[in-house]
A and B are shown apart, each in its own frame.
Chain A
Amino acid sequence: MFDLILLISLLLISFAILVALYRVYKGPSMPDRIIALDSIGINLIALIAVFSIYMRSTAYLEAILLLGILAFIGTIAFSKFIERGVAIERKHD
């Protein structure tokens, strides 16, 4: 019963990732795609968390924090690139 609930939630999170993937594919503007990629990252965090409960293992918990950090830094780098044209500036104005 508990495993069935976990499988259903895994399925629902996968569906959410699929919907966000449609936004990445279709998205008219660049910020739409970046926000969609960020929400895919967050859904992946939820997916790993539910999967680690399903596997009854704590070995995936570092991957959750790591994915959160990487999604954060990636989103900042992308947004800085579309705002300024460079990700890392030589000198701040």
Chain B
Amino acid sequence: MKVNDVILQTVTKIVVFIIFTFAFYLFFAGHHDTGGGFIGGLMAASALVLLYLSYDIDTISKAIPINYRTLIGVGVSVSTLTGIGSILLGYPFLSHTFEYVDFPFFGEIELATSVLFEFGVLFTVVGGTLTIILSISEDV
């Protein structure tokens, strides 16, 4: 039977960008408001799961050629390196710092190194979630 899910695929093309924007917002709002790397990663993973649901594994793997197992490794490495970086500067492991920097258009923005740690958490969560879901959905 020939199936035709044009409505689902058209809605997905729009909604995926909204979910990715929401994940982006949650990730950067995590320092002062609700959010953070974990829930931002889960939202990004749910956008990717929506893509996999409305298309199929082969199409999306061709469009987004990312191996999610390496994503876990990259995330854990980034989080660990932020800890090791503070050792190299003579501080205890995982001690974070922040700096107020003036940007030309955005004005004064607080740049914190804990955002880099959260970035590693986000990568690990996305990689772990999608590795689990794609391994389970593997049939035959």
Contact = CB atoms under 8 A, between A and B. Distances in A.
A88 B8 contact: no
B125 interface: no
A76 interface: yes
B57 A89 contact: yes
A69 B53 contact: no
B34 A59 contact: yes
B54 interface: yes
Contacts of A62: 26, 29, 33-35
A92 B58 contact: yes
Contact of B54 (A66, A69, A76, A86): A76
Interface in A71-91: 72-73, 76-77, 80, 84, 86-91
- Chain B binding surface, main DSSP class: helix
B46 interface: yes
A73 B56 contact: no
B43 A88 contact: no
Interface residues of B, number: 30
A7 interface: no
A63 B26 CA distance: 11
A76 B3 CA distance: 15
Given A62-B34, A86-B137, A88-B133, A76 B53 contact: yes
B50 interface: yes
Given A65-B22, A88-B56, A88-B133, A93 B3 contact: yes
Interface of A: 59, 62-63, 65-66, 69-70, 72-73, 76-77, 80, 84, 86-93
Interface of B: 2-3, 8, 15, 19, 22, 26, 29, 33-35, 39, 43, 46, 49-50, 52-59, 133-134, 137-140
22 contacts: A62-B29, A62-B33, A62-B34, A69-B43, A70-B46, A73-B46, A73-B49, A73-B50, A73-B53, A76-B8, A76-B50, A76-B54, A77-B53, A84-B3, A86-B137, A88-B52, A88-B53, A88-B56, A90-B56, A90-B138, A91-B57, A92-B56
